Each structure stands twice: as structure tokens, then as C-alpha cells.
Structure 1
Amino acid sequence: MSTSKQTSDHETIRKWAEQRGGVPAKVRGTSSGDDEGVLRIHFPENSENDDQFEKIPWTDFFDKFDAEKLDFLYQEQKADGETSTFHKFVNRE
């Protein structure tokens, strides 16, 4: 059985992403001015849509993450025990 966890802890999010080859990114074409646009954790090694994402520094990622009051919902493992890359951003409660 796979279970989800939720956090806003920067170090937990960064470690989870980096252990899976993920990088902080934004969706191209969604930023304006100082707004980074739509955030994503991008997995370049597993992506056929690499050109849709622009890598950004973790500091910029977390500035936007905190300003939008987001939490990170994620899984460590799939139901079969395989490492999971499932995640999404949700509003903090």
C-alpha cells in the first residue's frame, strides 16, 4: 500500500526531489515580471517534454512556494515498493 505525506519543509522537499533526479522548475510561458509562474519538480531523465520546463534555483522555487502558501504532497514508494515520483502542490491548511 502506498501512502502520501504532506510537508512545507524545504529540506525534506529538496532531498526527496534530488534523490529521484528531480530539479526545481517552472512551466515555460507562465511567468510574468517577478512572478516565477507555475512551479514543478521536473524529472529530466524521465521526461519527453523537457522543453516545457525551465530549471530555476531552489531559492527562487521556495520563495514562490512560500509566497503561495503551498504544501508538498508526495509519496516515498508506490504500492509495489518501487520508488515513487508522485507529488503535487496543495494549499496549506
Structure 2
Amino acid sequence: MTTNHDVIRRWASDRRAEPATISGTERDGRAGVLTFDFPGYRESGRIRPITWDEWFDTFDLRQLNFIYQEERSNGGQSNFFRTESPHREDA
């Protein structure tokens, strides 16, 4: 888990993933659900590219944590991640 922008950007870069949000989840003119556009992801119809500045502005404003996995149990690269608010009651 991290909040470090450099770590998050490096993790995404290693996977050729670009910052994105899910269309229709925007709030108050800001990005909604934060995600990444991974090459070859087939269900990307709702994924809308955004800039790193937009991604991190939303990430910081919501005081999120970036929870991620580097490798799967078989040693292959993992694309697993999620963002989580430490302020949620069920967090």
C-alpha cells in the first residue's frame, strides 16, 4: 500500500497502463472512479483517459491509499490494484 505518486506512476508504467476514470462516475467536475487503461483490456468501453495531474488531484483530494500487487503467486506480473479510503467505516 502506498500514497507515493512516484511509486504509483512507476507501477503503472511497468504495465504500460495509462491513468483513467470510469465514464459516468464523475463528481463535481472531477474524475470519478480512478482506474488505469491497460493495453489489451477488452472491457475498456467505459474507461476514459485522464491526465496524471487529474488522477493524482482526485487521489489526493479523496485521501486515498493505493493498494497493489507486484507479482502473482506464479511469479508473473500482477495488474491487481485498488484505491481505498482509510476514512470509510468498513475500511
**Aligned runs of 1:66-85 on 2, under 5 Å?**
66-85=60-79
Corresponding residue number in structure 1 for 2:56: 62
Distance 1:33 1:89 in 2: 19
State the number of aligned residues: 87
| Higher RCO by CA contacts (8 Å cutoff, separation 6 or greater) | 1
Distance 1:9 1:92 in 2: 15
Gaps of 5+ in 2: none
Following superposition, the deviation at residue 86 of structure 1 comes to 0.6
Following superposition, the deviation at residue 35 of structure 1 comes to 1.9
TM-score w.r.t. the length of structure 2 is: 0.88
4+ aligned runs moved over 6 Å, structure 1: none
RMSD: 1.3
Give deviations 1:10-69, integer Å, cap 9, x for gaps.
Answer: 0100010011011110101111442211111221x2311122101100000000000011
Corresponding residue number in structure 1 for 2:25: 30
Name the stretch that deviates more: 30-39 or 59-68: 30-39
Gaps of 5+ in 1: 1-5
Corresponding residue number in structure 2 for 1:13: 8
User: More strand by proportion, 1 or 2?
Assistant: 1
1:92 aligns with 2:86: yes
Identical amino acids, percent of aligned pairs: 33
